[in-house]
Amino acid sequence: MLEVNDLRVSYGHIEALHGVSFTVAEGEIVTLIGANGAGKSTTLRALSGLVRARSGQVRFCGKAITAVPAHKIVALGMGHVPEGRRIFANMSVQENLELGAYLGDSRTLAADLEAVFGRFPRLRERRAQLAGTLSGGEQQMLAMGRALMLKPKLLLLDEPSMGLSPLLVQELFETIVEINRRGTTVLLVEQNAAMALDIAHRAYVLETGRVVLSGPAADLQDDPQVRQAYLGGHAV
């Protein structure tokens, strides 16, 4: 579904990604893990068109998208929940969700809203409330709900667990698995590598703008190098 080949991105004269390659197949949960500054968020931002790749190819559902503007990539079926959630704080919960369906068919809006409210009942309770007044966990639900309004084929999640309590993180990851089970492919970027590897099928490890390791998530969980660097533990 997604093929990334030798992707390079620069900010000014500084190259942030030095040729990143990976693939995501339909139905998978794939996770990119790595330390702060490894280039995980930049990779997602390049996929959804928020930053331009300097070179390299991205193919999404068979279509080259490196030169496609961000708003058209959304239309192709890629949803992106950005780092820090980036909800529209001064608008109501419902308005945020309606913006998620900006490109959608207005005739299915009510049904799509219902579907999201079904998945996140808390959002229904707070539909008229200003989004900026929600708790961190609710804001994350809203950001995900907003991206799901268009029923994307591929959902990019950037650090969804950031700033949430362990209990909420647990709940959030169950939701991600559930969304995946219902047919949405997921590309997950996480600093919480242990949780990410728990739910992912495959994983790539990024270090300073390069993929240094990849494989089935279960294998990486047992990899001594990964355990040492990202799981904060010692080999059992």
Partner 1 sequence: MVQFIEQVINGLQLGFVYALIALGYTMVYGIIRLINFAHGDVFMIGAFVGYFGFAVWGLPWPVAILVSMAVCAVVGMAIERLAYRPLRAKGAPNIATLITAIGVSLFIEYFTSLKFVFGPNYRVVARPFAVQVFHLGPVSISSVQILVITVVLVLVAGLQYIVYRTKVGKAMRAVSHDRDAARLMGIDVDRVISYTFAIGSALAAAAGVLFALAYPQISPFMGIMPGLKAFTAAVLGGIGSIPGALLGAVLMGQAETLTAAYITTDFRDAIAFGILILVLLLRPAGLLGKAGPEKV
Interaction site with partner 1 (CB under 8 A): 48-50, 69-72, 74-75, 79-80, 82, 86-91, 95, 98-100, 102-103, 146-147, 150
CB nearer partner 1, residue 5 or residue 88: 88
Q: How far apart are CA 59 and CA 47, in angstroms?
A: 9
CB nearer partner 1, residue 146 or residue 227: 146
Q: At its nearest, how many Å lie between partner 1 and the CB of residue 110?
A: 15
Q: At its nearest, how many Å lie between partner 1 and the CB of residue 98?
A: 7
CB nearer partner 1, residue 34 or residue 49: 49
Structure tokens at 131: 């989004």
Q: At its nearest, how many Å lie between partner 1 and the CB of residue 53?
A: 16
Residue labelled with tokens 């099928």: 201
Task: For residue 31, give the 3-state DSSP assignment.
Answer: strand
CB nearer partner 1, residue 159 or residue 223: 159
CB nearer partner 1, residue 106 or residue 236: 106
Phi-psi domain of 85 (left: phi exceeds 0; alpha: psi -120 through 50; beta: other): left
Residue in 146, 132, 142, 158 with CA at minimum distance from that of residue 42:
158
Q: At its nearest, how many Å lie between partner 1 and the CB of residue 24?
A: 18
Q: At its nearest, how many Å lie between partner 1 and the CB of residue 95?
A: 7
Going along the chain, which residue ranges are E strands?
Answer: 2-11, 14-24, 29-34, 55-60, 63-64, 78-81, 154-158, 185-190, 202-207, 210-216
